[in-house]
Structure 1
Amino acid sequence: PPGGCFETGRLWNYVWTRDTAYAVDLGLAAVDPVRAANSLGFKLSARREGGDLQIVQDTGSGGSYPISTDRVVWALGARTLLRHWAGPDADAFADRAYEAMVNTAAHDRVVAFDPADGLYRGEQSFLDWREQSYPPWTREDTVHLGMSKALSTNVGHYQLLRLLAELAETRDADAAETYAAQAEALRQAIRGRLWLEGEGQLSSFVTTGLDPAPARRFDLLGAALAVLTEVATPAQAARIVAGYPHTAKGPPVLWPQQQDIAIYHNRGIWPFVTAYWLKAARAVGNAAVADHALASLVRGAALNLSNMENFEAVTGAAWVDEGPTSGPVVNSQRQLWSVAGYLAAVHDVVFGLDAAPEGLRVRPFVTPWMRDTLFGHTDRLALVGYRYRGVPLNIVLRLPPVGTGPAPFAVQGWRLDARDLPRQAALRADQLAPGAEIEVTLVAGEGDGGDITIVEDTDDYQALFGPRPPRITAVVADAGGGLRISADLNGEAAADVTLALYRDGEAIARDVPGQGADGLRDPGVDPAVDGPCYTVEATFARTGTHSQHAAPACWWGPEAARIDTFDATTFEATGGELVTNHGRMHYQNWGDPGHALVVPDYRARFTGPHLIQVEAGNGAGSINTGVTCAVKRVDVEEVDGGQVIGGGYLLMPHLGAWDRWAGSSFVEVDLVAGRAYRIVVHGDARAVNMSVFDHFSRYTGGTGGRSGAFNRVNIAALKVLARTGR
């Protein structure tokens, strides 16, 4: 289109949703709003047959949406663009953005939202390389990513709802109230589910469906966004910024690091995330963290003569050669969001430019370290030609003397073209003449410089890494009552770790010596009637870094007697052909519109919560990419009367080959013992993947592109798993 688009990086020759959104939010909206709008607009698409304009989720883990749902971060870029851009083209963009976000929010509310806890499911935003930031047992089984509930992705959903509420105020007052209420409920849910009081941090994620305990693992982007969007309370925000661990070279994008995993997200410093962290430090007034972040940005750009994609966290190097874990495994020059992050450091932090809905505010954040180290040669900083809603401006900062400190500097006064301004005045574009000069005088601030957490001894691997996640090997009835859970330490020395045992999301034992891994006990359940699920976490006793959670294991009764399985020969089928291929009896060529698989008469044996799951094969693409994650709806209805008593969407991600079989995600329903139910697996308007959108009609990387939409899947069995023995 006229004005062009932004390329993602020297090694990334395309326009990706999240890269574009974060880059526009950080700085490109102000620099080139037309190109920013074109780039964001490219990531909106109607369906191939027309209608239902939505934000595109790019290719990704397990075949993309709804394993990944962070397409909603598009709203961050759109919001910032609309605050910097004015005129008929901006109005048209706002209208199209509103339509796409309305449809996206409605779709996600049905497919990805979990009303049980108020959070959205889906892989972390940006941290999209499975074992880089998730437990290693998810590497080949990405359905767990689709069942996870990630901080960064949920903040993205929150921001989309907030922008919808803002745009709806002039379009649909009732909708504005609805979106605002949904946003506030989501903010409270994030705080309630993911805040870890003992750690003073927000958890990166709830790992998977059968493990509702938030992991004691942290990520920089999620934390920064939670601070900047005020998802975190002011008190939480201050603790998050001061307590997140740094290395000497900057803030790693996740903590702690993962053993045996190559350098990329793991052990990585990413400048665009550092820029968000710098903005978060500014938001809470923490000079120590802000200085460290800015120094990291300056160092990385200066030593590499480019805005690199990432760096190794301890050395700050663009490449570390250490055998199988060498990296960063990809590291592009002129990475778009890294360029934008550096702009954010200058525009948003040092000069304090804030394009708010009511106008432009100028609130510089200059610390004594910045003044003395970076700007020690001058008493005046000038930003010339900054464009706000089409008006070029000059911003001048008058600095206090070198040696002023220790707090960030305060504003003594503002002047516009030599006229004094009221404190904190917001300047509308129609108040500003081209070439107007905004002058800000800075003086010594009050207070201290804030605290920062730096891990000094990075030679101690236990200070930098978490333990490998344990493996649960058995859940059995204990002779003394309750259940006994056995775990393997996955190569960690028993003397080095302590263990925590979680039941259904709650820690029921902590600080268990590693020697007790084979005899963890839960006397608080009755094996005859209860159906708990467990996970185990390891902690290095000396340093306190935590492992990822073990893959959850549940008690389904003796010999898994509470699981009922129906193989494909028992289905009533519409569409497909019953065959024995790929090692299992299943219906092949199944999954087109109008197709259905039915278990006609299931008589429940227990009363209470049950999980519906299918055993599926999806060889439509590789595990790490594509757009053809299979999505189907399952409905459970009473045989007598036909009332639908529950249902939801089953996710069946890519497995890399058709001869692999794995469990789908779960749909929970409440059943009554003795009643007969009909279980129907079928498609509907929401049971779709990204291949239905016209954007991917040009996709050449695999199934679901030029050849047409593809949502077929092989289903070999359906399971009903009773969470109760009552």
Structure 2
Amino acid sequence: NAPAAKTTAQQWQQSIKTDDFPQYTSEYPLADALYNLALEEARRAVEPDSTLRTGKEWAGVWTRDVSYSILLAQATLQPRSAMKSLLRKVSAEGLIIQDTGTGGAYPCSTDRVVWAVAAWEVYKVTGDEAWLRQVYPVIKKSLEEDAQNAYNPATGLVRGESSFLDWREQTYPRWMQPVDIYQSENLGTNAVHFQANTVLALMARQLGEAAVAARHEQAAGAIKQAINQHLWLEKAGYYGQYRYGRVFPVVSPRAEALGEALSVYFGVADAARAKTVVEKTPTVPFGIPCIYPQIPGIPPYHNDAVWPFVQSFWALAAAKAGNEASLTESMAAVYRPAALFLTNKENFVASNGDFAGTQVNSSNMLWSLSGSLGLVYKVLFGMHYETDRLVFQPFVPQAFKGTRKLTNFKYRQAVLNIEMTGYGNEIQEITLDGQPLAGAAVPATLTGPHALRITLKSQAPAAAKTNRVANLYSPETPQVTFANSQLSWAAIKDAQTYRVLKNGQPVSTGGALTYAVPAGPYAEYQVLAIDSKGLESFASEPLPVGAPATEVQLETLAPAAAYAYKGFSGKGFVE
């Protein structure tokens, strides 16, 4: 791991050639310089073998990092390197590689399928039919494996660790072991699986595989319905972090920034919920933290941290929901650290905005620089790829109003020189070579150089709020013991009340540090600490009380497996 250095460069001047990339100019010299910085770092990220390096301190291609980077900008900017990088993450068995995560990664971590969403983005950008046929079987086989290993038929949700939040105690209670993390059902990971199934269905339709398409449309619909049923927090107005526990799971009411953003961006949330999520999800002065509230006693990395790539997805969510205030905040939260540190850092401390206080960090971070570029391509100019056209849905906050140009922008066999004036998210006029452009969409059949002009209406969207809050910490998780028919726990700092759960349901709330357990059948008890602001700790480790549930030794009913494995109890195990 690379400890964060305390300083970065004092100045930045472009030193490598990037004029073959799209060139951006506006009335904001700082924003233009940050775009050029991101272009230069994007070029530096290309390894000698043309794959995309994860960061200055992180060599090689990582599945989720490269996939999110491709979605944000690299499919647009460097599609051939994107293709090569994605293929680097396919196993000899033709499966997407889950390369980092708790408990040896797969299946404790199951967010590898964001690869599918990135592969589809590359296809929409390039129109490369051979690419589509190459990636389709990989995605199909990987999702079939996931359906067996990670899909929970009881809830309709997908099991596995939070997407990218893969450092256990940084986002999970300390009592959770790898098996507990595997059994949990996280918002971001489920949003990714919804989109991966949606993408596979679209690929199957494109390739004439109607039965496969129908199956995965149904799978996507089931995951979407389950997220909205099991993870939506009506009172809070956003989704919960994950379901966790053992026999009787409960929902963590923490906000999980990437999951909230992807739920809006991918369309898990309907239009009304999308607006609410963007308005109500807590943000702090330096941006949207990975989770909120923070976990006490855990140093900044995923906990108590803002990650620029997540902030960029939050910007995409804000743009989709039509929330100008949120979008302006997000652009500022991406631009500020890049301008201050003169590189696109991996993360920084949520409470003070400094990169130096995090556990691990890197400059020239692929997904951070891609997020900065994505603000120009996908937010300001609002470019959204479809299989046969490039659609423009610009959103320029009033704080960034004016004239801007994006020249030498390559789309299939065309080169676009784009000029846009005004602000807001409604187009007054859009022309291609002086002629009105139907549907604000450039057809994929266009060839050669063309001039595109966009005039925005310069009307602010309907006013919408953001939920800017102080960067607060929840109480510590209680540690509960059981003796003499009584639960007991030590007082937790700043806790005002304690909620006792029996089989996942509240049975008592008060200031006492004990709870008398009535006689009865087997039950699991947990305790949460709640402070004066209503912030909740994680639920304590489930504590079984009463006669144990019936256990059946399966190896007495079926032949034990003959593998030379160790670490099991009893007389063997069933494969």
What is the match of residue 60 of structure 1? Answer: 101
* Distance in 2, Cα, partners of 1:712 & 1:176: 39
Q: Higher helix share goes to which structure?
A: 2
Runs of 4+ in 1 over 6 A off after TM superposition: none
Q: CA-to-partner distance for each residue in 1:140-164, whole Å, 9 max, x for gaps? A: x222111111111111111111111
Unaligned ranges ≥5, structure 2:
1-46
Aligned-partner residue type, residue 420 of structure 2: L
1:437 maps to which of 448, 451, 462? 451
* Distance in 1, Cα, partners of 2:208 & 2:48: 29
CA drift of 1:396 comes to 1.1
Q: Does 1:166 align with 2:207?
A: no
Q: Does 1:599 align with 2:452?
A: no
* Distance in 1, Cα, partners of 2:400 & 2:202: 36
Counterpart secondary structure, 1:554: strand
What is the match of residue 44 of structure 2? Answer: none
Change in Cα spacing, 1:214 to 1:715, as seen in structure 2 (3 Å) is: same
* Distance in 1, Cα, partners of 2:266 & 2:498: 35
Q: Does 1:224 align with 2:261?
A: yes
Contact 2:324 2:461 in 1 (8 A): no
Q: Does 1:128 align with 2:166?
A: yes
What is the match of residue 506 of structure 1? Answer: 505
2:115 maps to which of 68, 74, 82? 74
Q: CA-to-partner distance for each residue in 1:192-212, whole Å, 9 max, x for gaps? A: 111111111111111233241
What is the match of residue 415 of structure 1? Answer: 431
**Larger-Rg structure:** 1
Q: Does 1:4 align with 2:50?
A: yes
What is the match of residue 545 of structure 1? Answer: 535
Contact 2:241 2:254 in 1 (8 A): yes
Counterpart secondary structure, 1:427: strand
Could you tell me the percent identity over the aligned residues? 33
Q: Does 1:186 align with 2:223?
A: yes
* Distance in 2, Cα, partners of 1:346 & 1:46: 37
TM value normalised by structure 2: 0.87
Aligned-partner residue type, residue 369 of structure 1: A
What is the match of residue 440 of structure 2? Answer: 425
What pairs with 1:713-724 in structure 2 (closer than 5 Å)? 713-717=566-570
CA drift of 1:134 comes to 0.5
What pairs with 1:514-593 in structure 2 (closer than 5 Å)? 515-519=511-515, 527=520, 530-541=521-532, 543-557=533-547, 560=548, 562=549
Q: Does 1:239 align with 2:276?
A: yes
CA drift of 1:683 comes to 8.4
What is the match of residue 582 of structure 1? Answer: none
Q: CA-to-partner distance for each residue in 1:597-634, whole Å, 9 max, x for gaps? A: x632xxxxxxxxxxxxxxxxxxxxxxxxxxxxxxxxxx
* Distance in 2, Cα, partners of 1:554 & 1:719: 25
Counterpart secondary structure, 1:44: coil
Contact 1:410 1:442 in 2 (8 A): yes
CA drift of 1:454 comes to 1.2
* Distance in 2, Cα, partners of 1:362 & 1:448: 20
Q: CA-to-partner distance for each residue in 1:404-426, whole Å, 9 max, x for gaps? A: xxxx342111111111123x333
CA drift of 1:489 comes to 4.4
* Distance in 1, Cα, partners of 2:481 & 2:394: 56
The count of aligned residue pairs is: 526
Aligned-partner residue type, residue 453 of structure 1: N
What is the match of residue 115 of structure 1? Answer: 153
What pairs with 1:384-423 in structure 2 (closer than 5 Å)? 384-399=407-422, 408-422=424-438
Counterpart secondary structure, 1:126: coil
CA drift of 1:719 comes to 12
* Distance in 2, Cα, partners of 1:232 & 1:293: 20
* Distance in 2, Cα, partners of 1:415 & 1:213: 53
Change in Cα spacing, 1:30 to 1:487, as seen in structure 2 (3 Å) is: farther
TM value normalised by structure 1: 0.69
* Distance in 2, Cα, partners of 1:536 & 1:13: 43
* Distance in 1, Cα, partners of 2:418 & 2:363: 30
Counterpart secondary structure, 1:519: strand
Change in Cα spacing, 1:520 to 1:94, as seen in structure 2 (3 Å) is: farther
Unaligned ranges ≥5, structure 1:
48-52, 320-326, 372-378, 401-407, 459-463, 478-483, 567-597, 601-677, 685-710, 721-726
What pairs with 1:228-627 in structure 2 (closer than 5 Å)? 228-319=265-356, 327-371=357-401, 379-399=402-422, 408-422=424-438, 424-430=439-445, 432-445=446-459, 447-456=461-470, 458=471, 464-474=472-482, 486-489=487-490, 491-493=492-494, 496-509=495-508, 512-513=509-510, 515-519=511-515, 527=520, 530-541=521-532, 543-557=533-547, 560=548, 562=549, 599-600=555-556
